[in-house]
Structures are given as structure tokens and as C-alpha cells.
A and B are shown apart, each in its own frame.
Chain A
Amino acid sequence: MDRPVILECRKVWKIYGAQADSFLTRNSRPKKGELSAAGLIGAVRDANVQIHKGEIFVIMGLSGSGKSTLVRCLSRLIEPTAGEIFFEGQNLLSMPEKDLIRIRRTKMGMVFQQFALLPHLTVLENAAFPLDVQGVPRAERMERARKVVELVGLKGREGNYPRELSGGQQQRVGIARSLAVEPDLWFLDEPFSALDPLIRREMQDEFIRLQNMLHKTIVFITHDFDEAIRLADRIAVMKDGAIEQVATPEELVLRPATDYVAEFTRHVSRSKVIRAVSVMEPLAGDSFAGEVPHDARIEQIADQVEASALPHRVMQDGQAIGQITRQAVIDVLVGRR
């Protein structure tokens, strides 16, 4: 990945329990069993992550896997027990409170699972809240808040209070609030998990639309693998506080690093993940039914490729780099590979 790293965490640990600090100085890489034997809980164990500018980085795991704790360590809502976190090259953990507040005020935004809206403020005032605590004058912050509220599609509801809105609308307010300061780094902690499946889908589309406009660097937490592969550039799979694998959705499916990841990806609809380039064969012969882009998902090209007995050419930068056959597409669709 050639884009610059914006957020990096090295060997981050978060251990709960009595004397967690001193335990880690005595044994810097304890095993899970050693922790539980000492009556400690390793919520995050030895996490190493690099997040690049402009990517959507999804942290994915079941409940209790430590993903929420990790994201709170990354934003320093929770103090990690050990490790280093760098944001744009600055050490976030050794930073004095004042600088941290400045960074949060200007460079970070966060969306929460239960929306976390302030009940006594209107939609507009909620969106303007981060500007309010910075001391932005009222007229200016209302103007900027009005823009983000409009951006998330809540124009006309500015004067409503959170309790008067549906769950999906409340989360739109949460998104508007997190975007009001135009952050570089955007944390989303299971933002759609509390919503109904249909609304969730709609909000995911909304999220993709926003990201296509804004190009933020995003850390997105979810327990829903379908959501993860739909949105992610890269995914980190967590289990019991440790990161099992960091990879693109396709790599996770094709080359799972551990049995746990394999188990997880087994029932994914692979045609949504696998790209043409991953199942193409070397060019053979010279009669082709057509062309497909190399990074097209199988799902997108299946109809086209299956319609003909002849293979299709796989194109990258105007060059044919291989061919894809009907058989290969069917193999993916029925899960043979």
C-alpha cells in the first residue's frame, strides 16, 4: 500500500484486572492462559495495525473479541496497558491532555453504536456540539451544522429532539455530529448494529455515498462479516483480544491465515468478494466473447461470462492480462473455490 500511514498501533495491550501493569512488565508477551491464571482479562492482546490515509479499515469480530476496546485504545478513550500509538507521526499515548483534546477537536470524529446523542439538544445543536465545545461562535457553528445535517439527509428535522426521531435518523445525527469538525480520521463503532436489517442496508448505502464524496480515513467496527466485506478495503479479524489476520476481503476468503478465519469466511457468498483477476487463467487461443475489468467481482460479471461458451479477456490498464472462463465463474458461484 503506497498511501501514507495516518494511524499506527504497535504492540498494544489492554489488560483488565488487579495490577495489570506490573504483570505486563514481568511478562511482556503473556499467553492467554497465563493471563486468566492470574485473574486478568486480556481485552486487547498485542495488537499491531497500520491504517493508511483514505482507506476503510474494518475491525471485525464477535462480541467480546475486543474490537470495541481496540478502537477505544486507538482514540485513547481507554488508556492501553502497554504499547504505542502514533497518529500522523505523533505519539498519542504520551501526549498531554491538552494536545489530545486539540486533536480530537479538529482531526477525529466518532460514531457510536447506541448513537449517544445528547437528549437535551436538538438535531442541529447535537451536530453543532463539537463546534460548541471549541468555542466556535453560535452563528458560524449553526451554519456549519446545518450543512452536515443536510449532507446526511436530515434537512427539515433540524429543530427536532433525538427522541422524536427513528433509530436510523438518530444515527444520521450521530454521523452528522462526527463530521461537523471535518475530521481526517473517522471512527465508527458498530454504527448500524442497533438498526433493523432493512434500515442497516440503507445506511450502508448512505455511508458509501458519503465516503465517495468525502474520502475520509475510516476505522469501522462491526460484527457483521457481510457488512465488513461490503465496505472494507482491508479487514482485521479479531478473536479473544488478538488480531488473527489483517487482509483484503478477498485474501481473507482465499487465503485465511487461521482456522478461525477460515471458519468465519466459509459461508460468505464468495462471488461478492472474489475478483476476476484472482480466478483468471493465462491467455490461450484468440477467440473471446468480450472483456471484463480485472478488479470486477465475480458477482458483477457472472451473467456476462456465463452467457458465452467462449472465455472473456481480463483487462488491466488496456492490456489483456488473462482470460476467465464460464467454468471458473461457476466454480466460484457454487463455492468450489
Chain B
Amino acid sequence: MRGRWPLAFWLGLFGLTWLLSAFSFQLSKTLDARWLLKYPKQWELPLEGAIKSFLDWLVEDANFGLFTFRDLTRAIAAVVEMPYQILRDLLIEGFSSGIGDAAVQIAPSLSWIAVITCATAIGHYARDWKLGALVGGCFLYLAVFGQWESAMITLSSVLVAVPIGAVGGLLLGIAAYRTPWFDRMMRPFLDLMQTVPVFAYLVPILILFGFGPVAALVATVIYAMPPMVRITVLALRGVPEEVIEAGRMAGCTRRQLMWKVLVPSATPSLMVGVNQVIMLTLNMVIIASMIGAGGLGFDVLAALRRLDIGGGIEAGLAIVVMAIALDRASQAFAERSQRARLSGNLVRRHPWSTTVFVVIAATLALGLVLPGVQSYPDRLTLTTGPFWGEAMKWINVNFFDTFEAIKVVILNWLLLPVKKFFGGIPWAWGILVMGLIAGRIGGWKLGLLAALLMGFIAATGLWPKAMVTIYLCGVSVLIATLIGIPLGIWAAERPGAGRVILGLMDTLQTLPSFVYLIPVVMLFRVGDFSAMVAVVLYALAPAVRYAAHGLRSVPEALIEAGTMSGCTRSQLLWRIKLPMAAPHLLLGLNQTIMLALSMLVITALVGTRDLGQEVYIALAKAQAGPGVVAGLSVAFIAIVADRIFNALAEGQKRRLGL
């Protein structure tokens, strides 16, 4: 849609909105119409109550004939809990029989040496000695720096959730690949799942499954599965038609075709999905400490609540170390190519299995005599907590004024004016404007959808909080883009710098979102500014990556044509590369917005007053209604933004004939 007078349309819309926002208070006074500012209570949809009674009904009365809903949740809980408990026993607690005081230990847990050997073995098996050393080193770090137990609790959760999420996602993906109607049914559901903020999952699950590791695991699996479903469908569709035909001509049955041809051919792509499941699982296991997952996430949360700087950083670093180990190892598995099988006897064919087995047996025996072999000796533990505490104190003593000055300037000159602008927009006008913007960019259908979704937010009485969310998101995305795109350009133009920058972004993106809060709170304490900094850090990566990727994928011939026309470097950049990369930049912006929104909800922990706070309060009070409604509102904002930017990118692509 490129109507006439594009500039006049946008300027006019902005001008009108600004006027209405600035004078809405006076306007409502003169007209004596309070409803202009505040959505009337009596018009609100009674959604929260409906959700609450629905959940109550599910828990109390729902009956599927053979079994009740409660039986179902208990069955799920049992299925999840058993492997989790076994893993916990294996990694930390040791196996015992009997309950309570009567418990007798049958076998101890794996010793720390055995676990580190396992980790090293996996790293080496996945790629080479270097990776083995890295992964083993990461685990050694966890032992030496006293994070072992929490880390093993987190690891048990990850190890239970990942197979369930990956296999479940694979099976759902296969079903969607095979049956088109199932695919169509799943699609909007997956869209919603990926945009509903993580906290919002937790509330209903908390109510259905209660507080504890099982609820956390269920939430984690639900959170980590959708990308696997998507990747599975894409990976199966990506198998060349001829390969499928070759399978059919070989006389494969449907099942053989799936498991002997399609799935193995798609394995490299599927492994990328598994890597994603692992990283999302880790992210969620950390966040789910709020509903009782325990482990490293709980340590961070507790430290944040106590404002224990050192402890928070220690646990946060442990999470980072673990994320790096899991990410590198699973990526290596994804890229791992088939190798020739070793020949010889059992021991020679499986050198690593043998080594691991020997180490486990040896440490098991030795551990009975020497406790230091069984669990890492406490007196050798290094603690960095006090060091970090001192370091932060030193920074705050010496740089407090600098940080404070930056904070005040940005608050007064950027955050507050924007907040006032968004906060002042009357809700009815806001809905209309959203509809107009979306309609102008993506056609009347999109406009209608945008207006409807925004209308939902107003109708649930969450308009003011939604505006805070939009303002914080907008400012953060703006700043992330202003930093990210130049970084991306730099990375694309200078391969040396590119490796460093993109490597850094890769690592940033593997970190669980929780971790970002720690340094920010330490330096800037709580409030909108801290939230913004955390969001910018978290959402920076896609802006950089897409910019770099967009610039690099400009066809070589075009650049050569530009060079031969006598373009200077900057002319090449501004006149050829950037316009050609525009669709990529827009998609990067879209991703940045999505990440910003998901992070924004988590920043409720550092005291923002937006939709995230609403979800967070609902979680604390275990109120499903408000939590789900606020979560849906965030999802709707995300969906509107996603559709608008996708439409922009598509339009841009069409114009460039890509």
C-alpha cells in the first residue's frame, strides 16, 4: 500500500496523536468526559473471572469420562517426576530406599570427577579435544567455585525437559508435516505460544500443578517445544523431493519413508532445533525457579531479593558457564559429521564409554574411602562473592556520580517525555491509530486485526499498563537499533571485527534472560532505566546479526557494478548495500521487538509498572485470571508489531524484486 501523500499521512497522524496526548487531560475536563482518559470500569470484559472459574472447573470438576482432569495432571506430574528424581539421585542426592528418617542410602550419587569426565567425553565425542576441554572446564568451574549442587539441580531439570521437549516437538512436527489440517490448526497456536511472555505460562501451570520442580518442568517443556515443532516441519519440508522419490522407488512404506529417509536426511536441521530446545530449556529452568525449580535460578532470585551482589554475580556466572557448555556441545553435535566406525574389540570401539565407565567405577570405590573424591571438598572451594561485592562497591563509590548523571539525563530527556506521550494518548484514539498504521502498511485486514487486538487490551482495563510496556519497549528497541545496526555494519565491513562482534552476540544470545538483570540492578538499582538497559542488552543481538547478514548477502555483482561506477566506500554502503539490506534490517528490527517484549516482562523483577508487573503480581498471588489476561495483552502487542514489520519487510522485498 503506497497511497498518495505518504509523508502527509504519517506527519498528520503523528501530529494529531501528539496534540491529543498533550491536551487529553484538559480535553476531558472541558468536556467533562472522564471516559476519554480512562476506560470505564463497567465496560470491562469479565475475562479474569471467566478464566478463574474455568481453571477452577478444570481442577475441581472436569471429567473426561474415564478420568478427571486432576488425574491427567497427576499422571503428567508422575511421568515427569520419575526421571527427574532419578537424575537428581544420580547427580546429587544418591539413591536411597525408605522415606524420611528410615531412609537408607543404597548407592551414592555420581562423583564430581565422574560427571566432569562425562562432560569432557561428550565434548570430545561431539567434536574434538578442544571442545572436550572447554565443556569439562566449565563443569570444573562449577565444582571449584562452589556452585556444584545448584548447577546439578538445574542440569537435572534440563536433562529431563530436553528429551521430552525435543521428542514431543519432533512428533508434533511430523504430525503437522503429514496432515495439513493439523498444521493449520497448530500454526496460530504456535504463534501465540511464542509471543506469550514466559511468566504468563507460569501462572496457570502453578495453579494446575502446584508449586515445585514438576510444575517448573511442565512449564519448561511447554515453553521449549514450539520452536522444535516449527523447525521439524521446516526441516522435513526441506528434504529434496528427489530424495523422497528415491525412498518411494526403493519401496519404502510410509513409516519407513519417515524414519529411514525423511528424518535422517533432515537430521542436521533437526539438531539445530535440539540446540534451541536446550537453550530455551535452560532459560526457562532459570525463570521457573519462581515456581519452585530450584537450582541456579533460585540462587539468582534469592540474591536479587536480598540485594546480595556477590552471590547474585556468582550464581549468574555459573549460569553463563553452564549455558556456554550446553550450547557449544549441542552445536557441535548439530554440525558433527558421520565418521568411519572404529574397529576392534568392544573397548577399542568405544574408548570413551569405557573410560567413563572406569572412572565412574573407580570414583565410586574411592569415594567410599576418600570423601573428597565423592564430592568436591569444601575447603578447596573458591568463593568470588566477596570479591564481586567489593568490586561493585568500588565501582559504585568511584563512578556513582557518572552513572547517576547518565541515568538522570536519559530519564529526563528521553524516557519520561516518551512515557508522558504514550501515557497521554486516549485509549479510543490509540486503538484507531494502531488500526490506521497497520492498515496503511499491511492492508485493511491487518488494520482491523490490530484495532481488535488493541481493543481487547483496552477492554480488559490494562490500557495504561500496556502503554508503559509499549513506551519501554519502543525506547529500548530504538536504542538497541541505534547501537546494533552500526555494530552490524561494522561487523559486515571488517571481517576481523565481525568475528569478534558476532561471536560476542552469539554468546549474549545463549545467556538466559535472567542473567541480564544482575549487573544492571547492581549498577543502576531498580526502575525504568534499569529495565531499559537490561532490555537493550538482551535485544541487541538480532539487530546486529540481521544487519551483518543483510549487508553480507548483497549480491557480489551489484557491489562490483557499484565499484566500477566509481562509488566510494561510503557511497557503496549508503546507496547499494543498505537499500538492498533493508528487508533484513526490518526483520532484525522485528526480532529485536520480540526479544525486547519477552525481556520486558522479566524486568518486572526490577520494578517496572507495566504489563509485566501485572503478570508478576498475579504469579506472586497465584491469580490465574489477571496473569493470563496480562500475558495475552503482551502477546497481542507482539503479534501486532510482528505483523506490521513483516508486512513492511515483505513490501520492501517486493519493491527490490527479491
Q: Chain A: residues with CB nearer than 8 A to chain B?
A: 72, 75, 77, 101-102, 104-106, 108-110, 112-122, 129-130, 132-134, 159, 161, 163, 174, 177-178, 187
Contacts and interface: CB of A to CB of B under 8 A. Distances in A.
Given A130-B251, A161-B337, A174-B246, 8 more contacts: A75-B249, A77-B248, A104-B250, A118-B264, A119-B265, A120-B265, A120-B338, A132-B260
Given A101-B253, A113-B242, A118 B261 contact: yes
Contact of A120 (B242, B250, B267): B267
Contact of B249 (A77, A121, A122): A77
Nearest to B260: A133
B243 A102 contact: no
B256 A133 contact: yes
B242 A112 contact: yes
B249 A110 contact: yes
A133 B251 contact: yes
Contacts of B249: 75, 77, 104, 108-110, 178, 187
Nearest to A77: B245
Contact of B242 (A109, A116, A130): A116
Given A133-B260, A161-B337, A161-B338, A116 B245 contact: yes
- Which of B245, B247, B251, B338 has the most chain A CB atoms inside 10 A of its CB? B251
Contacts of A114: 240, 242
Contacts of A161: 337-338
A294 B246 CA distance: 42
B338 A105 contact: no
B252 interface: yes
27 contacts: A72-B245, A75-B249, A77-B248, A101-B253, A102-B251, A104-B250, A106-B251, A108-B249, A110-B245, A110-B249, A114-B242, A117-B243, A117-B246, A118-B243, A119-B265, A120-B265, A120-B267, A120-B338, A121-B264, A130-B250, A133-B247, A133-B251, A133-B252, A133-B253, A134-B251, A161-B337, A178-B249
Nearest to B338: A161
Task: Rank and list the top 8 A-B pairs by shortest CB-CB distance, nearest first.
Answer: A105-B251, A116-B242, A130-B250, A116-B246, A104-B251, A110-B249, A112-B242, A120-B264
Interface in B205-255: 240, 242-243, 245-253
A130 to B, nearest CB: 4
A70 B267 CA distance: 32
A115 B264 CA distance: 17
B142 to A, nearest CB: 34
Nearest to A104: B251
Contacts of A119: 264-265
B250 A129 contact: yes
Contact of B243 (A72, A108, A116, A187): A116
Contact of B250 (A122, A133, A187): A133
Nearest to A160: B340
Interface residues on B, range: 20 to 34
A156 to B, nearest CB: 14
Nearest to B341: A159
B251 A118 contact: no
A104 B256 CA distance: 14
Contacts of B248: 77, 104
Interface in B73-96: none
A72 B244 CA distance: 13
Nearest to A100: B251
Interface of B: 240, 242-243, 245-253, 256, 260-261, 264-265, 267, 337-338, 340
B57 to A, nearest CB: 45
A112 B246 contact: yes
Contacts of B242: 112-116
Contacts of B260: 129, 132-133
Nearest to B243: A116
Given A101-B253, A133-B256, A118 B245 contact: no
A72 B247 CA distance: 14
A120 B153 CA distance: 35
Contacts of B247: 133
B323 to A, nearest CB: 29
Contacts of B240: 114, 116
A70 to B, nearest CB: 14
A98 B467 CA distance: 62
A328 B265 CA distance: 57
Nearest to B253: A101
A79 to B, nearest CB: 12
A157 to B, nearest CB: 12
Nearest to A119: B265
A229 B568 CA distance: 55
Nearest to A106: B251
Nearest to B251: A105
Given A102-B251, A159-B340, A110 B267 contact: no
A133 B337 CA distance: 24
A178 B246 CA distance: 9
Contacts of A118: 243, 246, 261, 264-265
Contacts of B264: 118-121
Contacts of A72: 245
A225 B265 CA distance: 34
A77 B267 CA distance: 24
A172 to B, nearest CB: 15
Contacts of A117: 243, 246
A105 B249 CA distance: 7
A101 B243 CA distance: 17
A256 to B, nearest CB: 33
A248 to B, nearest CB: 28
A104 B252 CA distance: 9
A120 B338 CA distance: 7
Nearest to B249: A110
A44 B250 CA distance: 24
A115 B249 CA distance: 13
Contacts of B246: 110, 112, 116-118, 174, 177
- Which of A112, A116, A133, A177 has the most chain B CB atoms inside 10 A of its CB? A116
A43 to B, nearest CB: 15
A110 B250 CA distance: 8
Nearest to A110: B249
A52 to B, nearest CB: 22
A101 B251 CA distance: 5
A69 to B, nearest CB: 12
A119 B260 CA distance: 11
B239 to A, nearest CB: 10
Contacts of B252: 101, 133
B244 to A, nearest CB: 8
A108 B338 CA distance: 30
A159 B264 CA distance: 18
Contacts of B337: 161, 163
A109 B264 CA distance: 22
A118 B260 CA distance: 9
Nearest to B264: A120
A119 to B, nearest CB: 6
A322 B242 CA distance: 50
A102 B253 CA distance: 10
B417 to A, nearest CB: 56
Contacts of B267: 120
A116 B246 CA distance: 6
A177 B245 CA distance: 13
B251 A112 contact: no
